[in-house]
Structure 1
Amino acid sequence: MSNPPIVDLFIIGGGINGAGMARDAAGRGLNVVLCEKDDLAEGTSSRSGKLVHGGLRYLEYYEFRLVREALIEREVLMNSAPHIIWPLRFVLPHSPEDRPAWLVRLGLFLYDHLGGRKRLPGTRTLDMRRDPEGAAIKDAYKRGFEYSDCWVDDARLVVLNARDAAEHGATVLTRSPCTMARREGDCWHIETRDSLTGETREFRARALVNTAGPWVTDVITRVANAESSRNVRLVKGSHIIVPKFWDGANAYLVQNHDKRVIFINPYEGDKALIGTTDIPWEGRAEDVVADEEEIEYLIAAVNRYFKQQLGREDVLETFSGVRALFDDGQGNPSAVTRDYVFDLDESKGAPLLNVFGGKITTFRELAERGINRMRDYFPAMGDDWTDRSPLPGGDMPDADYEAFMQSVKARYPWMPRGVRRHYGRLYGSRVSDIVGGADSLKALGRHFGGDFHEAEARYLIDHEWARTPDDILWRRTKHGLHLTEAQREAFADWFRERTRKAA
């Protein structure tokens, strides 16, 4: 390509920070390209604890500013995506062997008041012997507390940011690693290679943004041939999925003997998600898996508190991710800050903005601040806008999900409750984009099992960059958890045949 196209911003890394920055920049009128070496959210951003929260335990490390900003963002995100983000009440059984009750109460008081809480109910004290939330807990734990945070479908949060970026004009390239980024005067010359088709593309960009997460330093040194005084600490976090073993919609937060806290959350209706661990990681981020020691650690944390005891045989699935935390010199992985740091390299012409650290809850604020750091290079770009604009599917009157779902029920009376709920939770006000003109379940096409029908698969391929079966089964949706192995294989065969015909 003799004259590669010139764009304003080229972003490397399709996790939550990269997708958020692409959305923010494109909405300000910048010409943006986002490239991701694998699938959107395939790394850290789909392997989180799936919470939008202030980080109650960060108060113990005096991260008051970070917690306050995260709590403020919690409210913003609830309004922008009520279909994939919703309130969740957490029960914290108190163990007198660990943190004293007065310290827990103080932390919860600060948590309630630091961030200007408006929509969520506040903390209350529980009598674990009388309140229904204590029914599943061992009799030894007589007192507890209940507080609010939010659940999020993390992978869909990434995809919806990328979708909104594309609708504002951005180009999104998945499974297209950046193979070279070279400064040429006041521009970057960039090459990508599609790992599925082998297609090579070239771009020129006025600025380069590196949001590669665990691979951020690799992009700096190997791809861009640049330098940075900043670094990241790689910390491995693992989760297990088991059948749900308590009644009620609440989640639990328990303290383990080592004073780490473990979340036990309802997941996908009839399952529970338990995590996370915090272990230093020095290997390749691609190789991370939950090991048996971590699995036993999480099971032991549950069994310390709950009447129903879990065993290794109860574990249905595991997943593990590598969190790329800004290296602040702390020895304890749990104490390493979850804050983020920008490193703007302007030393050799065209700017390179490297992003270190961050967390899902503060991604929007990170993106906004990061793009504002580039204002000197793009003085004509628009002002901040994402704090008052819904993500795709989130434009419901008063962010009222339940009222919206009543309208879906009225519009599609033939649709089973499970399918209706699935579409509402993943696609919000865009349910009609999947259903189209269908007037029966049969009209949604082939049934792959569970609540999974062909119309949804086609939509995800055509509009959400799904390029492999796993992109759909495990990231765009969680259908993989609800299908048998034979059903997953049958879907993979259908996917490959459709891809072959489209080629």
Structure 2
Amino acid sequence: MAAGYDIECDLLVVGGGINGAGIARDAAGRGLCVVLCEKDDLASHTSSASSKLIHGGLRYLEYYEFKLVRKALIEREVLLRSAPHIMRPLRFVMPHRAGLRPTWMIRAGLYLYDMLARREILPGSQGVNLRCHPAGRPLKRAYTKGFVYSDGWVDDARLVVLNVMDACRKGAAVRTRTACTRLLREGEAWIATLRSEDGAEQVVRARCVVNAAGPWTMNVLGMALPERRTRPLRLVKGSHIVVPRLFEHDHAYIFQHPDGRIVFAIPYEHDYTLIGTTDLDYNGDPDTVAIDGSETDYLCRLAGEYFETAITPSDVVWTYSGVRPLLEDTERSAKALTRDYKFSLDQQGAPLLNVFGGKITTFRKLAEEAVDLVCKALGSPRPGWTEKACLPGGDLFGDTPQNCAVLRYGEWEQKIKDQYPWLPPALAARYCRAYGTRLHTLLDGRTSLAEMGEAFAPGLYMAEIAYLRRYEWARTAEDILWRRSKLGLHTPPDTAARLDAWLAANTMQSADAGAAGCAYKAPVSP
């Protein structure tokens, strides 16, 4: 290692959201020496504040975004195959609302949605009589006709973590709660200063930098190239509310509104319904984004125009908001901005690749294209590999992604329950969904519930806390209760405070580094 540098690597990725995580994973799998830094927790901002959907984006057809929709529809099934534990098919019901889009237009749009990309897992769309279908029962009697189509559900925060876990086990160094505070180009390398939350600094020498900082992309770009101007981002706030369960069936809804927006109502965490999202231009600090009263009123009012049960702000049990970094277009409203992505590659010396825009469904393709550019810029083109690879825990029926994994998920879950009969069924089901085959690591050597350790809160045992700290970079109660899980919805109000106090008093080393390929000594990876 050259004097003055703590780490030397091929690629420094700035940003631990879904784009940065996917890029780090892909690059590490191609043999590059990778360092990933994130100023907060993994997926602590936009990437954990989505509508939790893997979807083509039906409404984008109205804006003639056919290329984006096709790309997303293809990726939809690639992702379902790669991580069938944190993803699942989901059927959506669109009630027809008189005075808005006519039925022929909806039928045509759904036909196009079905035909734009090959489907091997998800069924096609169809019309439905809401007077006879279970999804019609919670709706107001005026809604008699509707349409049903397919998309997918995803645990967005866990998707990020799994990508980073895979990057780590392929050799990437991972630095959470570590900000990149300085980027200086010196000839054919970047010299970066990384500062952890305790103030400790490391100096990294990287042959290439990827700026995947989401809402902070322009900040990082300004730090690296203060003299350059590039395509700006437009920040758009999206907010969601969670209310007690409004319906018993397993379908989701997509509701139209006269203002042109659509809102989803999705089954959530067994006992709840997730409703969102809004689209508002945002000029504040992305670190402090939060829902406001007008957004809550809007979502309650729109949902109440469809459901028989009235929804008021007092029914809301939880909210979350995120800032989407979308490509600027002064001709379009916030709701109409493209969710596609663009790259800006600066090669006036060591390469700097800036990532603009994107959506969670297309993250893998974005990462693949980004790493193609990085490898070419570094003079060592290497083929992509992630399309045919499972994410950690997703190898339910073998190492190669298969259609059957998501279609036969229930069969696999029952096998796990039979293998661990001492686990309460609800707990076993949650472990299966959260960890997939990684649950064998969580449960290794344990043969009874007593061996899981103390129940810190209902459904949360010390064994799981230890696993999340060791393998998934969890350090705080918020990490554990709201990003690695959604136990915050199911545990007593004082759980977070008690857990933070316990975590502070019981420190341990987490997997904040990878293994092979870089010029530094790394601890055990997950």
Q: Aligning the two structures, in what range does the TM-score lie when normalised by the shorter sequence?
A: over 0.9
Tell me, in whole angstroms, the C-alpha distance in 2 between the residues paired with 1:198 and 1:174: 13
The equivalent of 2:432 in structure 1 is 424
Matched position secondary structure for 2:377? coil
**Correspondent of 1:408 among 398, 406, 416:** 416
Q: Per-residue displacement from partner, 1:150-172 (whole Å, max 9, x unpaired)?
A: 00000000000000000000001
CA contact (8 A) 1:207 1:352 kept: yes
The equivalent of 1:45 in structure 2 is 47
Task: Give the alignment of 1:16-31 within 5 angstroms.
Answer: 16-31=18-33
User: Could you say if the C-alpha distance between residues 184 and 76 of structure 1 is closer, same or farther in structure 2, counting changes exceeding 3 Å?
Assistant: same
User: Could you say if the C-alpha distance between residues 501 and 17 of structure 1 is closer, same or farther in structure 2, counting changes exceeding 3 Å?
Assistant: closer
The alignment's C-alpha RMSD in Å is 1.4
1:364 is aligned to 2:330: no
The equivalent of 1:183 in structure 2 is 185
Matched position secondary structure for 2:417? helix
Tell me, in whole angstroms, the C-alpha distance in 2 between the residues paired with 1:501 and 1:389: 29
Residue 328 (structure 1) shift: 3.0
The equivalent of 1:498 in structure 2 is 506
Q: Per-residue displacement from partner, 1:164-210 (whole Å, max 9, x unpaired)?
A: 00000000100000010100110000111101x22111110000100
CA contact (8 A) 2:130 2:146 kept: yes
CA contact (8 A) 1:220 1:228 kept: no
Residue 481 (structure 1) shift: 1.2
The equivalent of 2:129 in structure 1 is 127
Tell me, in whole angstroms, the C-alpha distance in 2 between the residues paired with 1:487 and 1:177: 29
CA contact (8 A) 2:7 2:203 kept: yes
**Correspondent of 1:7 among 6, 9, 15:** 9
The equivalent of 1:455 in structure 2 is 463
Tell me, in whole angstroms, the C-alpha distance in 1 between the residues paired with 2:67 and 2:381: 29
Q: Per-residue displacement from partner, 1:286-331 (whole Å, max 9, x unpaired)?
A: 1211000000000011110111111111100111100000113333
Residue 223 (structure 1) shift: 4.9
Tell me, in whole angstroms, the C-alpha distance in 2 between the residues paired with 1:499 and 1:4: 24
Alignment-mate amino acid for residue 353 of structure 1: L
Task: Give the alignment of 1:457-496 within 5 angstroms.
Answer: 457-496=465-504
Tell me, in whole angstroms, the C-alpha distance in 2 between the residues paired with 1:191 and 1:484: 41
Tell me, in whole angstroms, the C-alpha distance in 2 between the residues paired with 1:127 and 1:176: 54
**Correspondent of 2:113 among 106, 111, 114:** 111
The equivalent of 1:377 in structure 2 is 377
Alignment-mate amino acid for residue 48 of structure 2: S
Q: Per-residue displacement from partner, 1:244-300 (whole Å, max 9, x unpaired)?
A: 111101111101221210000011111111000000001111121100000000001
Matched position secondary structure for 1:309? coil
CA contact (8 A) 1:71 1:114 kept: yes
CA contact (8 A) 2:72 2:361 kept: yes
| Comparing 410-419 and 71-80, the one that deviates more | 410-419
CA contact (8 A) 1:179 1:223 kept: no
Task: Give the alignment of 1:37-436 within 5 angstroms.
Answer: 37-195=39-197, 197-225=198-226, 227-347=228-348, 349-380=349-380, 382-397=382-397, 398-399=404-405, 400-436=408-444
Q: Per-residue displacement from partner, 1:330-378 (whole Å, max 9, x unpaired)?
A: 331111110000000112x101000000000000000000111123333
Q: Per-residue displacement from partner, 1:465-490 (whole Å, max 9, x unpaired)?
A: 11222111111111111111123322
Mark the runs of 5 or more structure 1 residues left unpaired by the alignment.
none
Moved over 4 A (4+): none
User: Could you say if the C-alpha distance between residues 115 and 441 of structure 1 is closer, same or farther in structure 2, counting changes exceeding 3 Å?
Assistant: same
Tell me, in whole angstroms, the C-alpha distance in 2 between the residues paired with 1:386 and 1:278: 32
Alignment-mate amino acid for residue 295 of structure 1: T
Alignment-mate amino acid for residue 132 of structure 2: R
CA contact (8 A) 2:4 2:203 kept: no
CA contact (8 A) 2:372 2:381 kept: no
Residue 32 (structure 1) shift: 0.2
TM-score, length basis structure 1: 0.97
CA contact (8 A) 1:180 1:224 kept: no
Alignment-mate amino acid for residue 482 of structure 1: H
Matched position secondary structure for 2:364? helix
Alignment-mate amino acid for residue 284 of structure 2: G
TM-score, length basis structure 2: 0.93
Residue 379 (structure 1) shift: 3.7
Matched position secondary structure for 2:339? coil
Residue 224 (structure 1) shift: 4.9
Residue 381 (structure 1) shift: 5.1
Tell me, in whole angstroms, the C-alpha distance in 2 between the residues paired with 1:254 and 1:170: 42
Tell me, in whole angstroms, the C-alpha distance in 2 between the residues paired with 1:77 and 1:289: 29
Tell me, in whole angstroms, the C-alpha distance in 1 between the residues paired with 2:494 and 2:367: 41
Alignment-mate amino acid for residue 126 of structure 2: R
Matched position secondary structure for 1:499? coil
CA contact (8 A) 1:16 1:158 kept: yes
Residue 229 (structure 1) shift: 1.9
Tell me, in whole angstroms, the C-alpha distance in 2 between the residues paired with 1:485 and 1:224: 46
Alignment-mate amino acid for residue 361 of structure 2: T
CA contact (8 A) 2:372 2:382 kept: no
| Comparing 407-416 and 225-234, the one that deviates more | 225-234
Residue 226 (structure 1) shift: 5.2
Alignment-mate amino acid for residue 308 of structure 1: T
CA contact (8 A) 1:178 1:223 kept: no
Matched position secondary structure for 1:215? helix
Tell me, in whole angstroms, the C-alpha distance in 1 between the residues paired with 2:191 and 2:223: 15
CA contact (8 A) 1:8 1:32 kept: yes
Tell me, in whole angstroms, the C-alpha distance in 2 between the residues paired with 1:359 and 1:269: 26
Residue 451 (structure 1) shift: 1.7
Alignment-mate amino acid for residue 455 of structure 2: H
Tell me, in whole angstroms, the C-alpha distance in 2 between the residues paired with 1:185 and 1:253: 52
CA contact (8 A) 1:53 1:74 kept: yes
Alignment-mate amino acid for residue 163 of structure 1: M
The equivalent of 2:514 in structure 1 is none
CA contact (8 A) 1:90 1:252 kept: yes
Tell me, in whole angstroms, the C-alpha distance in 2 between the residues paired with 1:285 and 1:417: 39
Matched position secondary structure for 2:258? coil
Alignment-mate amino acid for residue 470 of structure 1: E
Tell me, in whole angstroms, the C-alpha distance in 1 between the residues paired with 2:332 and 2:70: 24
Residue 79 (structure 1) shift: 0.4
CA contact (8 A) 1:29 1:381 kept: no
Residues matched between the structures, number: 500
